[in-house]
Chains A and B, each alone.
Chain A
């Protein structure tokens, strides 16, 4: 018999606060976390607004014995670790992290699929080391970077020793999941999916399959990432994903989903959910937020990489997104007509939004204008691997509260999509679709149903 998968815990840390209630309240009230960027000096960047996460101290979320490990935690890892701690607490699960208490679950039945991005080396750390290995003319010397005497007698100056011994471990993408598994004693199946904005939804899909096939009873799932650093922001700008030279300090006038005058902004977030098999959740007496009723994924073949990376054969429609949604609906045994609300990516990047909208239209046809769209990017920016986790958490909260949160963008999307500015409102919600497309054309969709 098929095993049913529920969402029983939500953990989120983002520009809208710490914890699911901060996130949900801000979405309902219509607040934005987009502000002038503080984390690094963006003066040379064409875009200086971002959804930087609120201040938090990762040590507050760690058992005492683990606090030393914060030295090897890049920002992305901190976001994941905090979100995971919030998720287990929200789910009422006791894990190894609760020192002295006995864990709720056998370790081998707890899995972990946390999506991640490529973690950029901290620029000051690497620059300081590189600068210690230069020639008299200021250019970099590989010879001086080394530590030994070469066979031909040239002598290394040990530049690389300016990097700490565990430097690499701070930046491996799988360290998000590894720290979480170690902290919480999760010895079940574990993975790190790195597919840009689609990472978290793909991870949630994989966690769902892991539980369905009885390889685990519960999993940490979701994603975390921060591209609020020099390399991260540069790459997203080179990808054509950032608004340029905006004088506005108001993100809601910059990032306006489905409006042609819009531009993209970055954010950072950790969003980890606890997904759990129904009977297991029932035995614990926990109240689920939602059921993961369907999952689908697909690639947009011929998906354009922006800025001339290859000859554009840019499809007018994000075909893979339509395919992923249709697969998720089939998996949920639902018709498109059953969907009561949609949480799409809505990045505010006009070319992406156009293709996304066309895909939604391909699936939902003439009914599309009557389906409320839930947007998060105007409040948070694009949080990359964290985004899908936030979107899924918002969908789960919408189902619990039977509420469509506010939409705060200031633009007016072309008719045909219920995505313009609107206050929060009550709605009768049974099935909510969450769907996303990554830079590069990886698509994923989840259907969440009332539990």
Chain B
């Protein structure tokens, strides 16, 4: 039996720069920043009081009348449904409520790397305050307040697999359904594992990606306490500075990215437009420390190598056009001191002497860090790079850091069509605790 190949036939996103695939891409190429003061709650006294929020989001606009049952759901669920609708539309697979254009729903699965649903912050706080005696929790008082205030819907939506129930219900999917939470690597992992499920024959199509919002007081608190976020309160729009020497942490974003993965022959039989082929996936663990990345980036190197080995690509061998074998890397590139230096080191190790010639940028400089949704959104930027031959820049990169001395596509988008466009991309995602995931996509060439 010949190896099953997997292609991407649809993509959709909800990002702090907008919801339309092409419009957001144009803004990324222009170098627009989505970062500004937090609007959703009063963050005035927070050490990080800015973020990249999704604004002007309307699920109804993205999904039409079938959005009605979901309009009072939490943001994470709505973002997922919006991105899924766009991906399904692009794949020509019908919209929510339409059925699946004759496809066996048992062969169409769902693999998400979505975060916990949106916290019901006010009621959570009120119940905890009601239960607190000053020295301990009074269980009766806590429960009285909690039962009075909290709703089944808001609470269950926080369970990370419930998003699967919503998305599968909306589109009638009945194949294998997974959600994974590998922190900032989750949606790259979800797409990668979905690719493997199709390759193995567990499904013919998978809707895959992730959705997340941590822009609420406790979500921001967690990262402020870890001192992982930028505190550049006087200049939020330039606060996300991946690979810049003056970087001081990441900036929180939110959103969703979803793609339709499909077995090649299945896609061809139904005449689907193919955006790209998934060529390889690598997942590894640093197994080093929960607080720190392995200093030489060995886990990241191993993930990159695994993905490229699947793709049949030797990272240190030039391609037929004389270029390095990978034409763009979407970096994890968070803007923390630790990540960016080590990720650069990992790319240098993997690509050896060719590393300086591999463009390697971080759209987190513009979109912020979408946490569990980041990987899928960044993968979609790779699809756009393949389609257009343009590379998105790393903005706010004005002070070179000797530790990050390769080509981060500083400040200006780059047109690589004269060089032959973009054939092969990598997208890197790394999670707290040492989770490394890399996915390799390439232009579909039959």
User: Contact residues of A with B, CB < 8 Å?
Assistant: 40-45, 69, 72, 96, 107-108, 112, 116-118, 121, 123-124, 126-128, 130-131, 134, 138-140, 142-152, 154-156, 160-161, 163-169, 172-175, 177-179, 181-182, 184-196, 198, 202, 206, 209, 212-213, 215, 230, 234-235, 238-239, 295-303, 305-311, 319-320, 323-324, 327, 438-442
- In the complex, whether B156 has a CB less than 8 A from a CB of chain A is yes
Name the interface residues of B277-298: CB closer than 8 Å to any CB of A. 283-291
List residues of chain B with CB within 8 A of the CB of A154: 44-45
Residue among B45, B159, B161, B172 with the most chain A CB within 10 A? B45
Per CB-CB distance, the 4 closest pairs between chain A and chain B, nearest first, are A44-B143, A146-B45, A41-B139, A178-B433
Q: How far is the CA of A234 from the CA of B159 in the complex (A)?
A: 12
The complex places the Cα of A161 from the Cα of B44 at a distance, in Å, of 16
- A174-B372 Cα distance, complex, nearest whole Å: 12
Query: Which residue of A178, A181, A194, A323 is within 8 Å of B160 (Cβ)?
Result: A194
Which residue of chain A has its CB nearest to the CB of B145? A44
Given that A168-B225, A193-B180, A441-B168 are contacting pairs, would A238 and B155 also be in contact in the complex, using a CB cutoff of 8 Å?
yes
17 more A-B residue pairs beyond the given contacts A72-B290, A327-B176, with a C-beta to C-beta distance below 8 A: A107-B287, A124-B136, A142-B45, A146-B46, A147-B45, A148-B49, A178-B432, A182-B288, A182-B290, A190-B284, A190-B285, A193-B178, A215-B283, A230-B139, A238-B151, A299-B177, A324-B176
Closest B residue to A198 by CB, please name it. Answer: B161
8 Å CB contact of B226 from A43, A166, A196, A310: A166
- Inter-subunit contact A166/B306 (CB<8 Å): no
Closest Cβ of chain B: how far from A126's Cβ, in Å?
6
Q: How far is the CA of A166 from the CA of B432 in the complex (A)?
A: 12
A235–B287 contact, CB under 8 A?
no
B398 at the A/B interface (Cβ < 8 Å)? no
Please state if A138 and B290 are interface contacts (CB–CB under 8 Å): no
Chain B nearest Cβ from A243, distance in angstroms: 16
Instruction: Evaluate contact between B46 and A148: CB separation under 8 angstroms.
Output: yes
Contact (Cβ within 8 A) A299 B47: no
Which residues from A are CB-within-8-Å of B155?
234-235, 238
Across-interface contacts of A195 in B (CB, < 8 A): 161, 164, 177-179
Question: Closest chain A residue to B105 by CB distance?
Answer: A301
Q: Cβ of B260 < 8 Å from any Cβ of A? A: no
What is the CA–CA distance of A127 and B162 in the complex, to the nearest angstrom? 27
Asked whether any CB of chain A lies closer than 8 Å to the CB of B146, the reply is yes
Instruction: Decide: A165 and B226 in contact? CB cutoff 8 A.
Output: yes
Q: Name A301's contact: one of B42, B139, B168, B196 (CB within 8 Å).
A: B168
On whether the beta carbons of A305 and B162 are closer than 8 Å, the reply is yes
Contact with A along B121-149 (1 / 0, CB 8 A): 00001101101101011111111101100
Q: Given the complex of chains A and B, what is the CA–CA distance between A49 and B44 in angstroms?
A: 44
Q: Is the CB of A442 within 8 A of B161?
A: yes
A118 to B212, CA, bound (A): 14
CB distance from A41 to the nearest CB of B (A): 3
A169 touches B226 (CB 8 A): yes
Using Cβ atoms and an 8 Å threshold, which residues of chain A touch B150? 234, 238
Complex: A85 Cα to B302 Cα, angstroms: 25
Beta-carbon contacts under 8 Å, B55-105 to A? 69, 105
Q: Is B382 an interface residue (CB 8 A)?
A: no
Residue from B41, B169, B189 whose CB has the most chain A CB atoms within 10 Å: B169
Nearest Cβ on chain A to B297's Cβ, whole angstroms: 13
Quick one: given A172-B432, A190-B435, A230-B142, are A182 and B287 in contact (CB under 8 Å)? yes
Contact of B47 among A42, A138, A147, A308 (CB under 8 A): A147
Would A305 and B47 be within 8 Å (CB), given that A107-B287, A145-B217, A209-B200 are in contact?
A: no
Known contacts A69-B290, A127-B132, A145-B217: does B142 contact A186 (CB below 8 Å)? Answer: no
How many pairs, one residue from A and one from B, have CB atoms within 8 Å of each other in the complex? 319
What is the interface size of chain B, counting residues whose CB is below 8 A from a CB of the partner?
94
A367 to chain B, nearest CB (A): 23
| B368 within 8 A of partner (CB) | no
A165 to B227, CA, bound (A): 8
How many whole Å from A297's CB to the nearest CB in chain B? 4
Contact A169 B432 (CB under 8 A): yes
Q: Complex Cα distance A184/B285, Å?
A: 11
Q: Check A168/B129 contact, CB under 8 A, given A230-B137, A239-B152.
A: no
Q: Please state if B169 and A301 are interface contacts (CB–CB under 8 Å).
A: yes
A142 touches B42 (CB 8 A): yes
Q: Which of B47, B131, B435 meets A123, CB within 8 Å?
A: B131
B359 beta carbon closer than 8 Å to chain A: no
Tell me the minimal C-beta distance from A379 to chain B in angstroms. Answer: 25
Which residues from B are CB-within-8-Å of A156? 45-46
| Whole-angstrom distance between the Cβ of B211 and the nearest chain A Cβ | 13
* Residue B395, interface by CB 8 Å: no
The answer to whether B290 touches A130, judged by C-beta atoms less than 8 angstroms apart, is no
User: Across the interface, do A163 and B225 meet the contact criterion of CB distance under 8 Å?
Assistant: yes
Residues in A neighbouring B392, C-beta threshold 8 A: none
CA distance A323 to B183 in the complex (A): 30
Residues in A with CB closer than 8 Å to B152 are: 238-239, 306-309
Compute how far the CA of A142 lies from the CA of B137 in the bound complex, rounded to whole angstroms.
Answer: 21
A275 to B431, CA, bound (A): 25
Instruction: Note all chain B residues with C-beta closer than 8 A to A163.
Output: 221, 225
Asked if B125 and A191 sit within 8 Å, CB to CB, the answer is no
25 pairs from A and B in contact (CB 8 Å cutoff): A43-B143, A108-B284, A121-B218, A127-B129, A131-B129, A131-B134, A140-B126, A145-B46, A146-B45, A147-B46, A148-B233, A160-B224, A166-B225, A178-B433, A182-B287, A188-B284, A234-B143, A235-B155, A238-B150, A299-B168, A299-B173, A305-B165, A310-B169, A311-B69, A439-B162
